[in-house]
Structure 1
């Protein structure tokens, strides 16, 4: 499993790097670019079709893992259908951005609900919670699927919300994918390990083109794909059989974007605005307002994510070894 994971990371990173490299001039040629506005940090139009490359590579990767009998046919088809739907609605959202328009969040939310449903229906879902203060809580199939769907939808959106600076969301996705790869190997979860390796390779291949100053961005097509895959991986891996130990693993790994998103949601509700209202309340915006450069902000958030991820791994090692 370890050798195959390393092979997947290497091949995927190379293919992603090449694919994104050739996507840059194509996106510019067809004018598929993200135009700057008062809320965005970049000052010039940026091509944003990297997410389309991610989609193709992810689908091919899932098909190969299914062909190798690592992923069941039902789960692979559910993942592929979800990826296609999320990427399609993300591409529509990105197209609106090329026209300097805002796409309604509700079609996106509907597609996210359907995608999360596919995972719990044909993949896996949480069946019990073992919490420190409440003990073991058995979840009925309906509650288990509902809990899992909410989790996946939440992770999709927190990754999307963090895609605000060059290299930020892509680097965070790489950190989370690497951490889930390690925890999945430690917990002997081959499916989540190999899917984590796939997303880690995508992140590694993308970052050279996206780190400051970015030559291309992934748009909603890419950020929702990363969010969906990370959310689903946590369900079929670290959260597959949730206990007092393992429930802390995905929560610790994703702590920074989770708490940032909850803070922004509460702030917007307090101000009487929609939780989907775009603003500059996110952590990276606030750090910029304190005078830090883009690179400094991104590296600081990387450090925080690495710290929480390392804590999760150390807890897992301490308990099991």
Structure 2
């Protein structure tokens, strides 16, 4: 029950809020229009991030307590959700939000965990504990916190992909937190699972609403904090592998896209159609088949992560 109630609260909030948010978005024109790089053929509401934000923050305030982990999410995550919402508003007008202000906010948010003592500081190997130099710990934490929100945003290009991947990943982190006796992280993972599963009901093909940048980066930031303060906190090689494997699909997608962009000589931040879901659809898979295939890959990674944890 300590985990079921937060899970259901987050899920019900999303399920109840989205119909109202969707109608508001359609009425005000806050929609993602079809375009050259877009897969959808009709305008789709782009305010799903608002429901996601409320679905996570309200249960956190009700059930998770005022901890370093929740303070980090509320401060850094709110900043990312806000800048993402501004970015989404630009997109509804066919404009592009400037890169540099967004980059500065992302870096500032990535550094927030350090102010609350959340960092990747050590690892326990075969010959005892290896403590990283402070500069390495800070750099590793900031890199993880900066990269993961962007990775989730990158894969949010097909109906139901990002929300489904995060549903599976948050389930893995929930069981990992239980196994490692981390109730605080388990509550947060349960909330994340409920919100992502609830949103998936509206976001699976054909999507009735998109999470937008605001929802994608906020979810990515939340699960990044959960990983650092949960599995990474245990400081064992196996525990470090759990979130990396559980988030294997967005991580591998980002790596292969960046490698292709480097080979082509295009900017790393430039939007393109090199992501895994684009490639699969060019091979002839439908949206549903593409998502199902990537779900299968994600489930395989997740099961491997849990098996390693149980060994």
TM-score, normalising length: structure 1: 0.92
Query: Once the 2 structures are TM-superposed, how far is the Cα of residue 277 of structure 1 from its aligned partner?
Result: 0.7
1:77 to 67, 71, 74: 71
2:55 to 54, 57, 61: 57
1:197 counterpart residue number: 190
Q: Does 1:152 align with 2:150?
A: no
Equivalent pair of 1:127/1:241 in contact (CA under 8 Å): no
The alpha-carbon distance between structure 1 residues 251 and 294, as it changes in their structure 2 partners (threshold 3 A), is: same
Equivalent pair of 1:126/1:241 in contact (CA under 8 Å): no
Equivalent pair of 1:62/1:80 in contact (CA under 8 Å): no
2:252 counterpart residue number: 259
| Equivalence map 1:1-321=2 (5 Å) | 3-66=1-64, 69=65, 71-72=66-67, 74-130=68-124, 137-318=130-311
In the alignment, structure 1 segments of 5+ residues that lack a partner are none
The alpha-carbon distance between structure 1 residues 136 and 76, as it changes in their structure 2 partners (threshold 3 A), is: closer
Equivalent pair of 1:78/1:123 in contact (CA under 8 Å): no
Secondary structure at the aligned position of 2:210 is classed as: coil
Structure 2 CA distance for aligned equivalents of residues 125 and 58 of structure 1: 22
Render the CA deviation track for 1:192-230: whole Å, top value 9, x for unaligned: 111111111111111111111111101000000110011
Structure 2 CA distance for aligned equivalents of residues 291 and 47 of structure 1: 27
In the alignment, structure 2 segments of 5+ residues that lack a partner are none
Structure 2 CA distance for aligned equivalents of residues 195 and 88 of structure 1: 21
Equivalent pair of 1:75/1:123 in contact (CA under 8 Å): no
Query: Once the 2 structures are TM-superposed, how far is the Cα of residue 78 of structure 1 from its aligned partner?
Result: 2.9
Give the count of matched residue pairs: 311
TM-score, normalising length: structure 2: 0.95
Render the CA deviation track for 1:13-61: whole Å, top value 9, x for unaligned: 1111111122111100010001111111011111011101111232222
